[in-house]
Structure 1
Amino acid sequence: MVAHVQKTTQSMIRACVVVFAATLALFGFTIPASAAATNYVALGDSYSSGTGAGSYGDSGACKRSANSYAQLWANAHSASPFQFLACSGARTGDVLNQLNSVTGGATLVTVSVGGNDAGFADVMTDCTLGSDQSCVDRVNEAKTYANNTLPGLLDGVYAKIKQKAPGAKIVVFGYPRFYQIGGSCNAGLSDTKRSAINSGADTLASVTSGRAKAAGASFADVRGPFTGHEICSGDWWLKSLSWPVDESYHPNVNGQKLGYLPVLNQLAG
């Protein structure tokens, strides 16, 4: 008799839950589900694709790493679907093309872009081969571009993200400073060159942060997490000049896992 009553009670409770959910749906409401999968889209350049962190699978020249913050976050949160579109070398125009694959159902979008537009790959080449003054001059060129031309390009990217994924949380990633000034490196670039390059990263962060906030996006500043883990520190989270050359000055596995991923965890919720 007791078992029968318990079974009847459980059936009634389940029926009430079904009716309640159906009633909410009728009026356009849904019951929040903490286990609901995130529809995640990862856009951007090599810092988002994970170039430098290895394990690129069949992604070819895009170098999408299994160790990238994007893939690690998608794995940990069972993102479904997960569109990993970031590609090494991407500029703002390339990210606009990446967005053509994005559907309106995306609930999280991450992006890093702007460094290639401002020519920081060329900056690193010029600073490696040239004098202190030529390095400073080339960094100043890049900073002028970042301040005067890049804002409009970033506005175009963020506007299209909002158009393609109007309901998505947008997280815009910046770039780390490359060097610890006065660090442990006894060879390579001078502190003058290293300081100039770091100032370029700060300019990019300032411009990108401002445009991201103007677009209603969250800015993920990774300069703090990377402090103490720059090139010439005691624990590098970045590669210096290395082979393949396109992986130089990019986050390594720890840079992605310990530098980028915790910031995304904090901002994405």
Structure 2
Amino acid sequence: MRGSTGEEVRVKRWTRLAVPLVAVAVLGGAGLAVAGSSRAPAAPPVERLDKVVLLGDSYSAGNGAGGYLDSCFRTPQSAGRRYAAQVRAAVVDVSCSGAVVADLTHARDQSRPAQVDAVDRTADVVVLTIGGNDVGFGTIVVQCFLFGTGTADGGCADGIQRAWAQLPRLRTDLTAALTQVRSRMRPDATLVLRSYPLLAPDRPLVEQGGYDANRGIRALGRAGTAVQQEAVDAVRASAPGRERTYLDTSAATVFAGHELGAKPAAGAKADPWFVGFGTRGGRQAEVYHPNPAGWAAWGDSLTRFLAPRTR
């Protein structure tokens, strides 16, 4: 697809692949076999592409999957790299744990240039998650899920309220950054922003002061997804040819019922797809990120999302 004109794209014969994912990974030195029954349905055949570029934060890099390649927690088990392997595309991965929206367009230091520098007109697909760190993801997780601080000063409720207050600024910054990413791509290339999992299950978690942390986190997650959609819509409307910019909201469905603390169905065992504070061998940077089973399922959902959007 690299360098193709619109007409060439229409007539090019793609090679379809159906490569099953190997759902076995290592977390903290302990082998974790992922049973096929806990996975989402197998992904459909996908198109043959040349180059996939991965931008964004820990939910792009692969925190929680194990097998890390560097201090950014990049791993072959991330959703984006799984997808690139399925379509047999070269992958350029500049995602990094802890990234914020500003890291897309501005260098953090000499070792971490602006992520957008990795995007050019040879990219067929660009995938990213971004924005969670801008609204205090780490603080919210610690205060709400580890300490259970509820309405205490500086606690869970305060963190969520501060995050709500930052959403308008996030919308503005995210729109500008996505517009810059899109401007470096070919009109026929595909840009996908992925929404985050909701993290908290759909059941009460009452903390200090009677505050329901799960309800607050789920509401914030939905509001964040709405902000992402508004940013994507703004990019799509900004210039001809940019309609190939999408928001993938599959995380809400993929992880439903697999959150930490989710109540299993009658007769079933809990099957969390996240690393918890008590997960054996888990690192702090992995907590409340998908575990190997979660990454396998979310990788499959990315393949299903992109299959009809890369033709």
Is TM (by shorter chain) over 0.5? yes
2:109 matched residue in structure 1: none
User: Is 1:131 equivalent to 2:149 in the alignment?
Assistant: yes
* Offset at residue 138 of structure 1 (A): 1.5
- Scaled by the length of structure 1, the TM-score of the pair is 0.80
Identify the structure with bigger relative contact order (alpha carbons < 8 Å, sequence gap 6+).
Answer: 2
Q: Helix, strand or coil for the counterpart of 2:158?
A: helix
The one-letter code sitting in structure 2 at the alignment partner of 1:163 is S
User: Is 1:265 equivalent to 2:265 in the alignment?
Assistant: no
Indicate if the aligned counterparts of 1:67 and 1:253 stay in contact, CA closer than 8 A: yes
Deviation per CA, 1:145-169: give whole Å up to 9, x if none: 01x2101110121111111113321
Q: Helix, strand or coil for the counterpart of 2:134?
A: coil
* Paired residue total: 237
* Offset at residue 105 of structure 1 (A): 1.5
Select the residue among 252, 260, 274 that pairs with 1:231: 260
User: Is 1:251 equivalent to 2:271 in the alignment?
Assistant: no
The one-letter code sitting in structure 2 at the alignment partner of 1:68 is S
User: Is 1:61 equivalent to 2:71 in the alignment?
Assistant: yes
Indicate if the aligned counterparts of 1:238 and 1:255 stay in contact, CA closer than 8 A: yes
Select the residue among 182, 190, 193 that pairs with 2:213: 193
User: Is 1:77 equivalent to 2:57 in the alignment?
Assistant: no
Q: Helix, strand or coil for the counterpart of 1:37?
A: coil
2:265 matched residue in structure 1: none
Q: Percent identity of the aligned residues?
A: 26
Indicate if the aligned counterparts of 1:173 and 1:220 stay in contact, CA closer than 8 A: yes
Alignment of 1:98-117 (within 5 A): 98-117=115-134
2:19 matched residue in structure 1: none
- Scaled by the length of structure 2, the TM-score of the pair is 0.70
2:60 matched residue in structure 1: 48
Alpha-carbon separation, structure 2, partners of 1:203 and 1:86: 24
Alignment of 1:29-44 (within 5 A): 29-30=7-8, 31-35=11-15, 36-44=48-56
Indicate if the aligned counterparts of 2:136 and 2:159 stay in contact, CA closer than 8 A: no
Alpha-carbon separation, structure 2, partners of 1:94 and 1:113: 10
1:7 matched residue in structure 2: none
Alpha-carbon separation, structure 2, partners of 1:155 and 1:182: 33
Alpha-carbon separation, structure 2, partners of 1:130 and 1:180: 15
Change (3 A) 1:43 1:196: same
Moved more, 70-79 or 130-139: 130-139
Unpaired stretches in structure 1, ≥5 consecutive residues? 1-24
Name which one, 1 or 2, has greater alpha-carbon Rg. Answer: 1
* Superposed CA RMSD: 2.5
Alpha-carbon separation, structure 2, partners of 1:69 and 1:251: 10
Indicate if the aligned counterparts of 1:169 and 1:268 stay in contact, CA closer than 8 A: no
Indicate if the aligned counterparts of 1:180 and 1:230 stay in contact, CA closer than 8 A: yes
* Offset at residue 259 of structure 1 (A): 2.7
Q: Helix, strand or coil for the counterpart of 1:72?
A: helix
* Offset at residue 29 of structure 1 (A): 4.8
Larger % of helix: which? Answer: 1
Change (3 A) 1:70 1:191: farther
Indicate if the aligned counterparts of 1:182 and 1:191 stay in contact, CA closer than 8 A: no
1:12 matched residue in structure 2: none
* Offset at residue 71 of structure 1 (A): 0.9
